[in-house]
Amino acid sequence: MAGSTPKSAYRRGIRDGAPFIIVLAPFSLLFGVVATEAGLTLAQMMGFNVLVIAGAAQFTAVSLMQEGAPIAIVLATALAVNLRMAMYSASLVPHLGAAALWQRAIASYMNVDQTYASSILEYERHPEMTPDEKMAYFFGISTPIVPCWFGFAIVGAAVGASIPPAFALDFALPIAFIAMVAPALRTLAHVAAAFTSMVMALTLAWVPSGLGLLIAAGCAMGVGALVETAMERRA
């Protein structure tokens, strides 16, 4: 990007990350409420929040705990949900792999759905960005997102049941993922994977302990890989 510097890239990151607060705030509030309703103290909830910092896996674990699922199922399911972070990390290596170790360590901690999706789209739109600019942009994206997630979880745990049910905070989760996934559906393989995950998740909704989602995710990745391989052979 002409005239870009790490400072300007950082500012762009803050600008692009700020809108996520609209969906992250109620999402984080809801986690604070659900975690305390599951029996976690404020300290336990924040310890869980800071150590894991992965909303979908956290909700999955807490929901399974409320359902009385065996601890092995809770851990295995949360780990499986978080395996997408390994794919995120592999995708970011060509862009951030040359950065200093301490920068990569911080980036790996803050590598969540929102920071990854925004950053990878920016890197693909502007391949001329330098490694320093890319890292600065990633940190910029994280600046409004990470404090928002921590702060509103504390608020949710504090106010708890006083939040009226009519507020329907759970709307934030599907909206957040739709906002992140929709811009990334750029090829037939992406669309095929998304459609497969939707159909399989609905078909397997009856499977206990959320295992249907894991099966749906595996099927979606398989279909996406098959479609992409077929497209490459045809090309």
Q: From CA 132, how far away is CA 229, in angstroms rounded? A: 33
Q: What is the distance between the alpha carbons of residues 121 and 127, in angstroms, rounded to a whole number?
A: 10
Going residue by residue through the chain (235 aa), what tens digit of pLDDT does each one get? 656 799 999 999 999 999 988 888 888 888 888 888 778 888 988 988 888 888 778 877 887 787 777 888 888 878 777 877 888 898 899 999 999 999 999 999 999 988 998 999 899 899 999 999 999 999 999 999 999 999 999 998 888 666 666 565 556 666 666 766 676 677 888 889 889 988 998 998 888 766 777 788 788 888 988 998 898 888 7
pTM of the model: 0.75
pLDDT of residue 217: 78
Amino acid 7: pLDDT = 94
Which pLDDT score, from 0 to 100, does residue 74 have?
81
Task: Give the per-residue pLDDT at 55.
Answer: 76
Residue 82, burial from CB neighbour count under 10 angstroms (0-12, 13-18, 19+): middle
Rg (CA), the chain: 19
Domain ranges of the chain: 6-184, 186-235
CA distance 230 to 74: 36
